[in-house]
Amino acid sequence: MNKIFTYLFLFIPFLTFAQSNYKKGSVTKTDGETLKGYIDYQEWERNTRTISFKTAVSDKETLKLKPVKVQSFEIEGLENYISYEGRISMDQTKFPDLPTELDTTTRQDTVFLRELVSGSHVTLFYHADNIKTRFFIAEKGSKPVELIFHQIYQQSHDGSTRTVISAIYRDQLSDLAHKYVPEITSCFTCLQMQILDKVHW
């Protein structure tokens, strides 16, 4: 009997998580076709690898779509996602699992990116999986580019360990600031740095 209760306890969180939550939305496929209907929205902390789509909530059949088949999708009034095909960074950037040497390993992948902020010139995107959190930025009409951030442990001469940060994303943002708002570059860049420095990478 105790084993039965143990199994139930283990599966309850899974069953709860698996409950559907269809919200009105639309999907634009890679061939240009637009599907309007309902998407199973799970308020993903980690970016989903597949979305479930129905033309009507009452439909029994569900269309499963991966980023390789999708150009973008929208949960109406909630979130927007696009598909990204390219390389993504693979190094750990969170305590306490930081590497002791600079790790610039990347992986070719096709993933969904969640839109965070969209301006007149650039859009900021977010992607998280079980390895790390990543941010991407895209100029209008251009492919998203990952904002590069590294964080490692480094041994000091006295034997102590310190954290060393490589915030390449600051230069990436600075370049965009120079390009689009050269008259207020310093203020713009400082603001962007302050915002992103507070983000949990």
Question: pLDDT tens digits, the chain, 201 residues: what are they?
Answer: 444 434 434 444 444 445 889 999 999 999 999 999 999 999 999 999 999 999 999 999 999 999 999 999 999 999 999 999 999 999 988 888 898 889 999 999 999 999 999 989 999 999 999 999 999 999 999 999 999 999 999 888 777 888 999 999 999 988 888 888 776 555 545 555 544 554 544
Q: What are the structural domain ranges in the chain?
A: 1-77, 85-201
- Cα separation, 121 vs 59, whole angstroms: 40
For 6-15, b/e burial (b = at least 16 CB within 10 A) is eeeeeeeeee
- Cα separation, 70 vs 98, whole angstroms: 34
Give, in words, the CATH class of 1-77. Answer: mainly beta
**What pTM does this model have?**
0.80
Segment 62-116, tens digit of pLDDT: 999 999 999 999 999 999 999 999 999 999 888 888 988 899 999 999 999 999 9
- Cα separation, 156 vs 44, whole angstroms: 40
Find how far residue 167's CA is from the centre of its chain: 18
Residue with tokens 């790390």: 132
- Listed in sequence order, the DSSP H helices in the chain are 2-17, 169-180, 185-197
pLDDT of residue 95: 81
